[in-house]
Amino acid sequence: QVQLVESGGGSVQAGGSLRLSCAASGYTYSSNYIGWFRQAPGKGREGVAAIYTGLGGGSTYYPDSVKGRFTISQDNAKNTVYLQMNSLKPEDTAMYYCAATGFVIAPLSVGEYNYWGQGTQVTVSS
């Protein structure tokens, strides 16, 4: 089992920044991919960033909607993955979740992930 705890959400104005954290515990050695996902009210959950944390890792993945604005990174010593979000827009408003899995074909696909955190709310006002 892998436990994930997100933090760092909040309310910001458009153009602002937030950094989300995802602290992992448990059998973290089995989780080679960590992803960040978001779900806005009335919409499906979508991937916004993923990182390969396995041996020789560091590869990152982003959809076009956030590329250049969001950056995912890892701190192996702290078993923590971060999501730096800059130039935030009102359409970035959502509950943000981190998730973990051992192997994926599509790193930004919701269905690929086995373990999920409880989420942290991000609200961007115009």
The pair of three-digit structure tokens given for residue 78, joined into one six-digit string: 């702290």
Q: What is the pLDDT of residue 98?
A: 97
pLDDT band, residue 31 (cuts 50/70/90): confident
Q: For residue 86, count CB atoms less than 10 angstroms from its CB and return exposed for 0-12, middle for 13-18, buried for 19 or more.
A: middle
Q: What is the pLDDT of residue 26?
A: 84
How many whole angstroms separate alpha carbon 57 and alpha carbon 116?
Answer: 21
How many whole angstroms separate alpha carbon 39 and alpha carbon 37?
Answer: 7
Q: How far apart are the first and last CA of the chain?
A: 40
Q: What is the pLDDT of residue 58?
A: 85
Mean pLDDT computed over every residue of the chain: 94
What are the tens digits of pLDDT across the range 35-88? 999 999 999 999 999 999 887 778 999 999 999 999 999 998 899 999 999 999
pLDDT band, residue 120 (cuts 50/70/90): very high
